[in-house]
Structure 1
């Protein structure tokens, strides 16, 4: 019974340890990814500060870097919390193993004393012959045999427990060192964050000195974005109109065939009922492929890959405010490296490739959903092409020397928040 409990405890310890290891690896990967994004943001920021003019791109790069640094510190805190739990757990394991080892040694010492008292063959024989009957004598013989075997097992248990105890002490020491390293890393990252916040404050303070040109930059960006959004909505409406006309043509063809069949069979022509007005959603889901793509796209909410392999979101979905300027974004803006590839986030069909102010916009249809990629300096797809997930569709363009990609997800023409669809 004791052996079963011991084995069950060891199994639970192994499972808990493996779960912790997996969680620690995930946090480490996240921290490393955040560090790469912070370094990329700094590289982009260096590009924007080469010019004397304060731009929205520069402010967005600083804001993104501050946010990424805060997220990295939060990840370090999660690592430390995990490590504290592991240290507490391993400390408990060490105490339990020490107690277990002490009990085993006491039991073994008692067996040794008993063996010393009955160490010669004469004593053993006397112990057997002192039995009341043959049955009891047989049991005493078996007892002596099992006693010897049990003593060997106890010695083996003691050695195994000592080994486990030493291993756990090594793990505990390693955890304590890791915690100390994380404490140092957190202090270092907080120092960097404070420095970056001061830098942000200095830059924002410049707004009062460069207010006129900054407002001009904001106004220019707003006009660009409005022109892009109009082009996107118009492209989607054209696609809906094409799908609606196709559905109506198919319905008229079915009616024509039914009428011709009735005439050939000398039957009255079928009465055509007034056509049912379909919603835009029904039109885009009308075909089996359109419906399958819509369902598949919906099922991948939160798991879609980012439209760039490396980069960070510098402008979020919805309305944001920088100083006194208000900016509306119907998608998100990624800052990435100059010349980075742009990739489709899901299987679909390219329904539009257009240009606005010298930059390409690519519209990909996924049933009733559309993904939009804009500010591309070149494209590698054409209208009518079928694309697959992560397929390269073009090269990102730059704003103020920084690679920037605008990305939107729309259900019909209604903007969706891409951050709830894209996997982190």
Structure 2
């Protein structure tokens, strides 16, 4: 599909029956009632079982995504990335100043608290923390978006807002202390189909892990008609796979079918489908698969770089350039793998690019609100992880002078 093509409306063949209980009940519930009903009544059972599994994963001490279970040290460093930290701190301070005491208590958490890792993509309000943008005043909502705009690149902000608009369109279809610039801090901005975990320290920025999805991936009517996202990631991945030699394609294609009989149990699941690095998978071991990028020709390596650059889009330009340069330095340890077809412009597929310093995933999904039983191009999930403890700025945090005081004692015990 041409990334610049107009919305096709292909998804409309799979609009659901809004008269069934799922939608008539949901229409009468607020997000909080919807989540309470889900947690208390355990339905649907498979999703509640996934939720309880997530809680077990959260109880594990953080280790980070790895390729073999061993964290590789010395991959990341503190550096000046030119982040406009003063403007970001001002936007954060403006937001905090407008929160009520109750909102502030729900929103402010220590940077080592478990709440930092309790993000999720489903529409269910599984982790009821912070402020919800449809529950606050317009002024607080505007201040929140102003903070996000101050942090992200202009292109990244537009992508995030487009994801939010598309998710709103889906809804229509189915009726403490202020941060300062010398200490680490961050925000968790998440909801259905948009999850951004953001860590800041001085002029350095980590946006990882993040998730961006869309069902459908376009708006074909209304005030935001023409909005579309995730098409460049789709087109670049397919172009990369099609540029490989037959032998390289054979190596890269780890499974021919999207739900392949050759897959071991658990390689496909109802929620993440082919994704390996979704919500709560902070400690997952993801072995390298596919073809080694350094063995590819110049055209293919250029397409790998272009694809990574698209996934780094949320970062401001200087930080984006530095992150891409770092990823390119590890091409001798970077793997590209593929699941599904690649024979035409309408192919359905999954791909992953994985190295010691970055993992990106792209997946065509079956319907959640729409009724397509098989993956389609209009339902897309993408994500980025920074392995070896890079997520949530954990690796950087360990390098910050004075952040960890091993000899600390409670002063009352010295009296």
Range into which the TM-score falls when normalised by the shorter chain: under 0.3
Q: Which has the larger radius of gyration?
A: 1
Q: Which has the higher contact order (CA 8 A, sep 6+)?
A: 2
The answer to which structure has the higher helix fraction is: 1
TM-score, normalising length: structure 2? 0.22
